[in-house]
Chains A and B, each alone.
Chain A
Amino acid sequence: MAMADRKDVARALMDRAAALGVTFADLRVIRGESTRAQVQDERADRLAHDVSMGAGLRVLVDEAWGFAGTDEIRPAALEDALDKAVAMARASTDHVADKGSVATVKPIEAVERVEAKIDPRSVDIGEKMDLLLRLEKAALDDRGDRIVNSIVVYADGVGEELLVNTMGTCIVRETMRCAVSCLFVASDGKIFQRAGEAYANRAGFEVAKELDPEATTIRIARIADVQLGAKRPPAGNFPVVFHPSVTGLLMHEALGHNAEADAVWAGESILVGRLGDQIASDKVTVYDDPTYPHSYGSYQYDAEGVPGQKRVIIENGVLRNYLHSLETADKFGVSPNGAARAQGFLHRPIVRMSNTYMAPGKDPLEDIFSGIDRGVYLKDGSWGYVFVDKGQFVCHATQAQMIEHGKPGEPLRDVSVSGMMLETLMDVEAIADDFEMDKPGMCGKNGQGAPVNCGGPHVRVKRLVVGGV
């Protein structure tokens, strides 16, 4: 049964919730399907297909939240889930000091579709495997025996979600994402170095089909090879230049998580009470934008049915906005800005980022390096995390280069850097006029994963702690 055909049952359930005395309720019925193919060492020997279906029902009763997630979507099962969610809320009513609430919004009736050239379900699994094998072979032909292990993975996910709530919102959302990731391990017989990358969008099979081996697998295999000759990075405090992937990672980890309004409301974030303050160099402007075309973190409506919108977090160094759900918007007395997301039907919506990036500046790229006598150029950001209470962050880059006398020089091995978010934002000295947003990945928070992307320009920071030797 198509999701659109379940609307009447869903609306009737919301009526029943209202009759039970809930302040607010919403229901998300989700069906998803995914395919995964893996090529390793020139053999496509692992294929997988997954289907999931279920419903998540959330209620606000006497200012307490309850949630029930179930894999059964028959009307009787949904009624049972509603009763359970109400019982869950009532189990905590006496202990809710921070009262639950939601902002009132105009109901929306809409359909969200993904603009895809090729529906991945229409593509034969053999074609997907052939594509992976070609991508892998191109890299192996280029690097020869230096590559000792290679893995190239294709993954797609297509789904449909019906979202209704007691405010009258009723939205059918289509989701579609496609990704190819690769990992190459190089060895000279003594040491091993690896490099990897993911290419992913909110789009169809064209994401994979349009990949150019030269710009993807060959490039990554060459990085792994080059890393064999790389030196260990130095230890201590250094001027640092971020590649756009590292800039994006930093904006996501160090700034974005601090700008999530649930962390701010709870008093955990270092950005509590800082709206309107200058918290960064006046060169810095940062956005979180779920409407960015086709990007991995994009969506039209969030998991509460609020239209996603471009949000300016920092404008010319001034903190302008937090990211909000219906609840945090109500608590802060602002309009919701569509930042509530949920991993699936077994998870409640929580405040999340989408595509987070720093706007490009005005400096030519070569000027970013000039003036640095001895520093570190961080490339290929791979992971990071932040402790929001202190703003202490860590960023890891899989490759780096020494900067000497104003120019990037000898290659360095993978390295982490650590800094304090507010100091680092103030220490931004130069922002290049270039821009990339190609760091798709899954962001984890409270046990939930959400597809996100991040990016920005090259950026020079006065100094950071480099975890070298």
Chain B
Amino acid sequence: MAETESRLDELKGFAEDALKTAMQAGAEWCDVSCGRTADTSVDVENGSIKSVDLTSNRAFVVRAFVGGAQGVSSATGFAAEDLAAGARDAVAMARAAQPDPDFRSLPEPAALEEVDGLFDERIVAMTPAEAVEMAVRNIEGAREVDGDVIISGGVSLDATESAFASSTGIRLDKRSTSMEAAFFCIVRRGDDSGSFYEFDMGRMFEDVQPEVCGRIATEQALRFLGARKAATKPMSMVLGPLASFSFLRSLASSTNAESIQRRRSFMVGRLDTTVASPLVSITDDGLIPRGIFSGRADGEGAARKRVTLFENGVFTAMLHNAYTAGKADAPNTGHGGRTGGIRPTNLAVSLGEITAEEIIADTEEGIYINMGSVTPDAASGDISASVDFGFKIENGKLAYPVINTMVSGDIFEFLGNIDAISSDYREEPGNKLPTIRIRNVQVSGSQ
């Protein structure tokens, strides 16, 4: 523990020194982050341990503003003197860039809500041999389902320590961990093949079941044998938990205030209007304990806020960083990236009253998508996507797996046609992933 404190103190000292150097060099605003990351990963290929990798590095980012113009200097692998040079470099670039009158300020210090469960000493203490054992149990689990399964993937353990300092007086430090297992399994029967991907991830040891992904992926892969094209016609589309996860995250990303202010988003002019079915209510909550996207503060040191993005189908709020909040004279929601940009965190979706199984049973004809990226073009809102892992629904049942089949439409048609959200869900820490049905989606497959 003393060693950890000493390393954090060193990072805090680096951040403080770089901040001081940048301000002396003429920065009007500045923030600095310094971090140290250590990762262990066990890669599996061809049903065998391929390699065990251990990586570690220190990195810093200095961001300086002059007249609203931004200069960023960053480094991976550095000596103390490099930080001072980096700080001066950031200021020189901010001076060289053109002033931006829309920049108002960096975030001010504020009380931060504590978020538990983002660091687990047990993950830090795990040995590479233990990670290898976890990977081996995934291989064994997969082979118990299908002796000839082709399995690849791996187990990874990550630990980060970082310090943050800004010219407005924010001083932060944190330690965080994450653990992930992810495996892709292929089963073959002659010329036919089925495949599937399964993962589990979390910030705390007990939130991850790192030894079962191989088995689950293989069980699912078997279901995809014998796939064929679906017919070309409009029908219902049911997004399973993993498919709804990517769809809803792309929807949350569209509430990015920068994209809307810059007029490059299909959400321009839609605030406070109905954009979706009344079933759709989504809150971004980066403060959920143990959440995979949780944290007390965003990349700029601003306090994270809970934001209701959609309520009963109405687009109610945008996600902001310091720049967009200043430009709009709106509260900063604390969704800023380290050097700009805006990202959603954990999403809480209002659940429905019937189960996923009941939704499928209630669908006469449709496409069920287990996993895949059914997401809109960020500007036009057009959707044209492949059904990578899906089934044809006939008479309320998953009839057969589909291949070489696509779905398409427009984001607002899709949102307006949502007619069911399940009451049950898959849970990834901080995120409940329900099943969603969308009526009248164009499917393209066979003639």
Contacts and interface: CB of A to CB of B under 8 A. Distances in A.
Interface of A: 40-41, 43-54, 64-73, 84-85, 87-89, 91-92, 95-98, 100, 125-126, 129, 148-149, 183, 185, 187, 191-194, 227, 232-233, 235-237, 262, 265-268, 346, 348, 387, 389-390, 392, 394, 396, 413-420, 446, 465-469
Nearest to A99: B48
14 contacts: A46-B69, A47-B96, A49-B72, A51-B78, A67-B51, A69-B56, A84-B54, A91-B127, A100-B51, A185-B263, A236-B447, A268-B150, A389-B188, A419-B404
Q: Shortest 6 CB-CB distances between A and B: which pairs?
A: A71-B77, A467-B406, A98-B48, A69-B55, A65-B51, A467-B384
Nearest to A48: B72
A47 B90 CA distance: 8
A351 to B, nearest CB: 11
Contacts of A420: 403-404
Nearest to B148: A267
B57 A54 contact: yes
B263 A148 contact: yes
Contacts of B431: none
Q: Which of B186, B266, B446, B447 has the most CB of A within 10 A?
A: B186
Nearest to B152: A266
B442 A193 contact: no
Given A418-B386, A468-B442, A97 B380 contact: no
A71 B57 CA distance: 5
Interface in B51-85: 51-59, 68-78, 82
A418 B45 CA distance: 27
A416 B386 contact: yes
A187 B99 CA distance: 27
A468 B444 contact: yes
A129 B377 contact: no
Interface string B218-233: 0000000000010010
A235 B45 contact: no
B228 to A, nearest CB: 12
Q: Which of B264, B377, B385, B409 has the most CB of A within 10 A?
A: B264
B339 interface: yes
Given A72-B77, A185-B264, A65 B384 contact: no
B47 A97 contact: yes
Interface in B209-250: 229, 232
Contact of A392 (B93, B94, B377, B403): B403
B380 A194 contact: yes
Given A69-B55, A149-B264, A48 B339 contact: yes
A47 B339 CA distance: 11
Given A98-B47, A390-B193, A88 B340 contact: no
A71 B76 contact: yes
B98 interface: yes
Contacts of A392: 386, 388, 403-404
Nearest to A128: B96
A267 B150 contact: yes
Contacts of A69: 53-57
B265 to A, nearest CB: 7
B177 interface: no
Contacts of A91: 52, 127-129, 132
